[in-house]
Amino acid sequence: MNPFVSFLYKNKVTVAFVIIFIFFAIFIPNFLSLNNLMSVGKQIAVNGIIATGMTFVIITGGIDLSVGSLLAVAGVFCAMLVKSGVNSIVVILLTIGLGILIGLTNGLVITKLKIAPFITTLAMLSILRAFALGMSGGRSVSGLGDTFRFIGRGEIFSIPFPLFIMIVVFIIFGFILAQTKFGTHVYAIGENEDTSNILGLKVDKNKIIVYCISGGLAALASIIQTARLNSGQPLTGEGAELDAIAAVVIGGTDLNGGYGRIIGTVFGVAIMGMLTNGLILLNISFYYQLAVKGLVILFAVGVSRKK
């Protein structure tokens, strides 16, 4: 293969990001404005945090379809706690704890009952949505106050707080995946689960931890979403699991497991965010936006296929 073509292929996610960025910068006058770029950052924070957990899950060869409904149930739970006057730090810890508990449940069902991740998390998607609607009576839980709202709308050194949280999540979990023994085991499990069992890597335990990470990060994302909306919405998060999976796949993570990087997911999330923002600024119909995103996903999967 030609060296230049080889370079482009190995860095295809970065190249795609640069091409889309340049295209929008040329054809959309306001795209490069600081306000617009900060707006994109705020918009992608929730998907970026969910996609980080999804990266771990997909690398092991699994899938987590429950994160969208978890976003709703954790958001309603969070909002109810805030309205009850519970301290914000306690609210955050309890909400993340709820997400980890849901992830733990997914992991136990998958590993101990041997039910496929797709079926397990699809069932959990419906169960959690029912809980979100039941807890809230089908209505939003609103009026959470200015202090809590800072999490979703505040700024630190002119950086939107949600974007700041997302960057911290990327750094921490990127390090865990790339530089720790646990990260090595995650890759090994996705590459060949049977071999990992033979090597004594405690496959079930590691897979349970992965689903706990996914659940905990989805709950963290729900806190940001709830603070930004200043309410817990029982119908929020519909399709969030698909956006997260799309970002992970666009970022180069193999759906069959065994390969993926958080830096790839970073670019995948950014590409998804830029596409949404750019198409809106170009006044492209929402229906066609969905088509464009679908084509991008198909293209990303196509170029990522192993030869």
Domains of the chain: 34-304 (1.10.3470)
pLDDT score of 289: 81
45, 163 Cβ separation under 8 angstroms: yes
Q: How many residues does the chain have?
A: 307
pLDDT score of 284: 86
Rounded Cα distance, 181 and 161, in Å: 31
Q: Which two tokens stand for residue 179?
A: 């530089």
Burial class of residue 192 (count of CB atoms within 10 Å of its CB; 0-12, 13-18, 19+): middle
pLDDT score of 207: 97
Residue 141 sits at φ, ψ, to 5 deg, of -105, 105
Residue written as token pair 């301290």? 87
Rounded Cα distance, 146 and 224, in Å: 13
pLDDT score of 73: 97
Rounded Cα distance, 158 and 147, in Å: 18
**DSSP string over 96-141:** HHHHHHHHHHHHHHHHHS---HHHHHHHHHHHHHHHHHHHHTTS-E
46 forms bridges with which residues in the sheet?
A: none
46, 162 Cβ separation under 8 angstroms: yes
259: region left, alpha or beta (phi > 0 left; psi from -120 to 50 alpha) = beta
pLDDT score of 307: 45
Q: Across the chain, how many H-helices and E-strands are there? A: 14, 4
Q: What pTM was estimated for this model as a whole? A: 0.94
Instruction: For the chain, list residues with pLDDT below 50.
Output: 307
pLDDT score of 305: 59
pLDDT score of 211: 98
Instruction: For 142-178, give one letter per residue: b (16+ CB within 10 A) or e.
Output: eebeeebbebbbeeeeeebbbbbbbeebbeebbebbe
- pLDDT, one tens digit per residue, over 69-115 is 999 999 999 999 999 999 999 999 999 999 999 999 999 999 999 99
Closest CA to 78 of 230, 212, 217: 230
Other beta carbons within 10 Å of 30: 8
Question: Strand 159-160 relative to strand 155-156: parallel, antiparallel, unpaired?
Answer: antiparallel
pLDDT score of 130: 97
